[in-house]
Amino acid sequence: MSKYLPLYLIVASILLFSCNGCKPQVKQDTDTNTNTSTGPDMSAVKVPTFDGDTAYSFVAKQVAFGPRVNNTKAHIECGDWMIAELKKYSDTVIVQSCKLTGFDGKILQSRNIIASINPKAVHRVMLSTHWATRPFADQDTANKKTPIDGANDGASGVGILIEVLRACKTMKLDLGVDVVMFDAEDYGSPADQEYVEDSYCLGSQYWSKHPHVPGYRADFGILLDMVGAPNATFTKEGTSMMFATSYVNYVWNIANEVGYGNYFRYDQTGGLIDDHKYVNEITGIPTIDIIHRTADTHSGFGAYWHTHQDGIKAVDKNTLKAVGQVLMYTIYRYNAHPEVLQVTQ
């Protein structure tokens, strides 16, 4: 089993997004709800350029440290590098150190790292990803007990979000932006053992119960997970649709409008257990998941998933550019016209 499990307890509420446990069932979405072509003239909103090459360099830097597994030198060094890099492009950086307990009882020295632009702004968007890597390649056919590089599953999201912050600093922004790098997301029970409930997403569970700012609120959140594969496809994932339908539609409509519809598909796939599940359930911040889904594999994820194939070759600059530029449009359009998403979920 994996962290990406169908949410059986809520299937009755999201039958349209059910997963068959093998290949993701797909339903074509004909009701997009939020049409970005109506209302305010969004074409007049200036948006900074996201640099896919720079984002790729940030991914490669992380991979060069080696597998970033908790309680290892690579984990410590990469975390220190991230903190230093984030300080260049944000107004504040908060390091939330904590001791988390793994599925095997091991105490994991962990750090959630939060970087903010305009920390006092009322309207805020939370962008998040995870940064530590899987401690074993349990989906591989060889060397199953050794850790993976996590170039796509971890480093791609971090690389994009650091570049988003860098790009945001080049053009005035009134909106508050918080980038949250969750730790210990992938330290969950291995596939060949009995699944341990809530053993994944440890950093986001901790942050959701102990936010970096007391009473922290954001208007909405966007989680990135496995966002760098060549020709990746991002579907409307069921947990996101249940908790934050309008925000999914808003982002997907923007992506298709600005030319990235080959990545952002209007297909609907099953609900997943990922960091956004805990953010939604515990904090109530409507949060969506941009995550690579495919019908070409048994798992519904790319063939690299939780294997040693998840090296730097599993990451493509064009995909990083697509996701990053869609985030830039989302941020700056919402900055200019927050009223378009003042909706009740």
Q: What is the DSSP string of 200-257?
A: S-HHHHHHHHS-SSTT---SEEEEEES--STT--EEEEHHHHHHHHHHHHHHHHHHHH
CA of 96: how far to CAs of 101, 116, 166, 304, in Å?
16, 14, 22, 30
Q: To which CATH superfamily is domain 8-341 assigned?
A: Zn peptidases (3.40.630.10)
Per DSSP, what are the bridge partners of residue 128? 180, 223
DSSP letter string, 11-29: GGG-GGG---SSSPP-EE-
The rounded distance, in Å, linking the Cα atoms of 285 and 256 is 25
Domains of the chain, by residue range, sit at 8-341
The rounded distance, in Å, linking the Cα atoms of 64 and 81 is 12
The rounded distance, in Å, linking the Cα atoms of 220 and 286 is 5
Q: What is the pTM of this model?
A: 0.91
Q: What is the largest CA-CA distance in the chain?
A: 54
Q: What phi and psi values does residue 202 have, to the nearest 5 degrees? A: -65, -40
- The per-residue pLDDT for 19 is 33
- Residue 237, both tokens: 């994932």
Backbone dihedral region for residue 25 (phi beyond 0: left; psi -120 to 50: alpha; all else: beta): beta
DSSP secondary-structure letter at 152? I
Identify whether the C-beta of residue 244 lies closer than 8 Å to the C-beta of residue 286: yes
pLDDT in tens, 279-323: 999 999 999 999 999 999 999 999 999 999 999 999 999 999 999
The rounded distance, in Å, linking the Cα atoms of 37 and 267 is 20
Listed in sequence order, the DSSP H helices in the chain are 52-64, 73-89, 156-168, 202-209, 238-257, 275-278, 317-336
Give me the residues of the chain with pLDDT under 50, please.
1-2, 4-37, 344-345
- The per-residue pLDDT for 21 is 30
CA of 179: how far to CAs of 95, 174, 185, 326, in Å?
12, 16, 16, 16
- The per-residue pLDDT for 234 is 98
From the CB of residue 38, how many other CB atoms can be counted at a distance below 10 Å? 8
- Residue 159, both tokens: 């690389």
